[in-house]
Structure formats: C-alpha cells, structure tokens
Structure 1
Amino acid sequence: MTNSLSARGDLVLPCLNEAEALPWVLGRIPDGWRAVVVDNGSTDGSAALAERLGARVVHEPRRGFGAACHAGLLAAEAELVAFCDCDASLDPAELPRVAEPVRGGAADLVLARRLPTARGAWPLHARLGNRALARMLRRRTGVRLRDLGPMRVGRREALLALGLTDRRSGYPLQMVVRAADAGWRIAETEVAYRPRAGKSKVTGTWRGTWQAVHDMRQVLA
C-alpha cells in the first residue's frame, strides 16, 4: 500500500459497514495511490479491517456522505484527490485513466460516468433521479454531464478552496456546481459499474434515492 510520502494521489473512500467489500476494493488500489478510508460509524469492524489491510483510516462521527467525503479531503495530503464509493461497485484500478486529464492539465475535475455491467447494478429509480439532477445541473450551470458519478478526481488545494458546506448527499453535486461557478474545466469519462457488495444504503432503495435527490435539489435551490 502506498504511503503518504510516495503517494501521487489519495483516494477517499467513505465507509459505512463495508467489511464485505473492503478486501476487494483495497486490493485494487493502483500503484502511486493511497487509500484513505473514512469510517462513518461502522458497526461491522470495517475500520479495523481497513487498517489491517494497510489503508489510512479516518474516523468521522458525524453521519452523512458529505461529512465522510470532506473529512477524507481534509485528511488527504497528495496533490490529486479522488473519491470513490467503497462498496465494490467501482474499480479503483480505473483511477490512473480517470485522473490523467487532471494530472496532465487538460481538466480541473473529472467525473466518471457509470456504465452498468449487470442487470440491477443501477436500479431504474436511481438512474431516473440521477438523470433529472443532471438536467437541473445543466440548466443551472451549463455543464453537460450524463451522470453525477461518484468516482471523480481533482486537485486537493483547489477542492478545498471551493468551500464545500453540504455534509449529506448533496456534497457531490455541490462540488460540481461550485466548480462550474469558479470556471473549472469539467470533463466526463466512463467506468464500469458493478452490483455492489452488501446492502445498499442509497441507490438500492426508493427512500434512500429520494433522500439523496432531495439533498441535491437543495444545493441547486
């Protein structure tokens, strides 16, 4: 596992009861990247498991996806910071390709559009909610994205300068909105999207999806 002194990038992995997925996820971290697992109150031993597997573990007691993501951003030390779900639906091995436009100076923020690899990997209600938010984002900022993808890469100092305040599900959208308002070059690539390991907390349920869409709409209000 890459340490903080040699890391070319830090990968922030918000984590809430992901012990089933962690071995695969951490085993796929590419050379030059360091895993920063942000434990958001797990009760299944995720934090201890992540430490045993060589990840840096940050504890964020405030519940919320945004709270975990931002704690990871604050803890990151590398120039490039990536974010990725910790449920094995996305492959961290894709990071070097996703990050290359930022590393090479062609983009300031890259988001990875999810391409489902199996039926049920991305439920219809979640896709519809995501599509609606993408349309709202385009009307608000002019940025054309097909997916508000959870795998994304930017530069640490620039991300911190956005002053992100949302600590719930609106955090990923607020990042894009504020980046667009700041004149960032925002690009989109594609990654495979697999059925997640374990029980879904957001996209797998109507209630979770509705809450995420509600949080994100507040960002656009």
Structure 2
Amino acid sequence: MRASRVDLVLPCLDEERALPWVLGRVPAGVRAIVVDNGSTDRSAEIAREFGALVVTESRRGFGAAADAGLEAADAPLVAFCDADASLDPAELPHLVRLLEQGGADLVLGRRRPTTGGAWPLHARLANRVLAAMLSRRTGIRLHDLGPLRVARTAELRALGIRDRRSGYPLEMVLRAVAAGWSIREVDVAYAPRAGRSKVTGTLRGVVTAVADMSRVFAEVSR
C-alpha cells in the first residue's frame, strides 16, 4: 500500500499498555490516527512517540471518537480498529485488497477468538443477537459487527452517521446497506485485550451497548 493510502482510526481511552504493540503492528503506508477520548494515562504521549497523529475528542463515547478520527482522515481509504491489542492492525492489508479488488464498499473483520477467554460469553451472545437482527432487517447475512473495518473515506463521510456512542458501528452498516453498498466479511484473529474492556468487560457495559444499538435500529428505520 502506498504512503497515505489508508488512515487507521484508533479510538483510545487509557490504552497505554496496548498502544506500543498496536502501533508497532501498523503496516507500512498506513497512518495511525489515535483519538484520545479522555485518557488519564500516557496514551497520547505514547501515540506521539510512535509517530501517530493524535486527535483529542472531549465528548466521551466510541462514536464520538470514531467520528473525530474520520473527520481527521485525509487518505482515500479509512479503517477502524480497537486500540486494546485484541485485533492486529497487520491484518489490514487483506481487508484493503478485498475493498479495492473484490468489488466491496465496506469490509468487516469477522472476529475469530484465539483463546477461550478472548471474547466473553455474554459479549459474544449479544453480538450474535445483534448480527441476527441486522441480517433480518437488511437481508444481508452478517456474523459480526467487528470493529476492524475499512471503507472509502469520502463515501463513508457521506453516509452521515449520527450516533456518538456504542451504536456507531451498527449505524455504519445500516446506512451502508441503505445506500446500496456491497459489504464483505473476512475472518480476523481476536485475542484477549490488554486491560479491562470499557464495554464487553462487564455485563453492564454490554447492556448499555445493546441499548445504544437498539436505539440506532429504531432511528435509522424511521
């Protein structure tokens, strides 16, 4: 991939333990955009040390951070990935090839756990239910709403995604389907994250995420 061909958005909240590994795995020709969403540790400092563009987003929420990264992107393609070391940015070139050569408009990484503890059961079940709801609603068979994904930057901005909480990944897919996009899934490894998840690490976090996504289902369908 040529220089600046892809911008990789990494929403970040207190990920100083994971960032050195994550940023060290970013492929050549990909610029990392770390969106600091209120970290109290050295996340922003570490990101700068590794040469990443650091964007500060004071509004808390995954969607707020993801949107800030999308606005900062200026490469033709934009990708998204969690900054907690559960996903490997080195897998990104495969997703990019599918986007550019496979006729897809949005490529999603379908998470495949590397160990039994990588994906808590409550989080996996919630994801399965949401994926089934999405498939019924859209007629497109999807298995995962995984955070590793890539699309064309200008087209993604044009979708007008409004959610600024946990429903952002779901709204992206719903609006992509409504716009007639071709969506593909590809298997990616999913490892135990570094530190405790702000969402899937607790049942309360999962319930909050499901509520956000249920709201997105209702709003996008209007």
Aligned to 2:13: 16
Query: Cα distance, 1:138 vs. partner?
Result: 1.1
Aligned to 1:124: 121
Aligned to 1:195: 192
- Does structure 1 residue 164 correspond to structure 2 residue 161? yes
Aligned to 1:109: 106
Q: Provide the TM-score with structure 2 as the length reference.
A: 0.96
Aligned to 1:150: 147
Structure 1: unaligned runs, 5 residues or longer: none
Q: Give the one of 161, 166, 177 matched to 1:180.
A: 177
Q: Give the one of 23, 32, 37 matched to 1:35.
A: 32
Which whole-Å CA distance do the structure 2 matches of 1:70 and 1:84 have between them?
Answer: 13
Moved over 2 A (4+): none
Aligned to 2:213: 216
Residues paired across the two proteins, number:
218
Structure 2: unaligned runs, 5 residues or longer: none
Provide Cα deviations, 1:31-89, integer angstroms capped at 9, x if missing partner. 11010000000001111110111100000000000000000000001001000000000
Aligned to 1:25: 22
Report sequence identity in percent.
67
Query: Cα distance, 1:199 vs. partner?
Result: 1.6
Q: Provide the TM-score with structure 1 as the length reference.
A: 0.96
How does 1:1-80 map onto structure 2 within 5 Å?
6-80=3-77
Amino acid of the structure 2 residue aligned with 1:30: P
Report if aligned partners of 2:3, 2:28 keep a CA contact under 8 Å in 1. Answer: no
Which whole-Å CA distance do the structure 2 matches of 1:21 and 1:132 have between them?
Answer: 29
Amino acid of the structure 1 residue aligned with 2:151: G
Which whole-Å CA distance do the structure 2 matches of 1:104 and 1:15 have between them?
Answer: 31
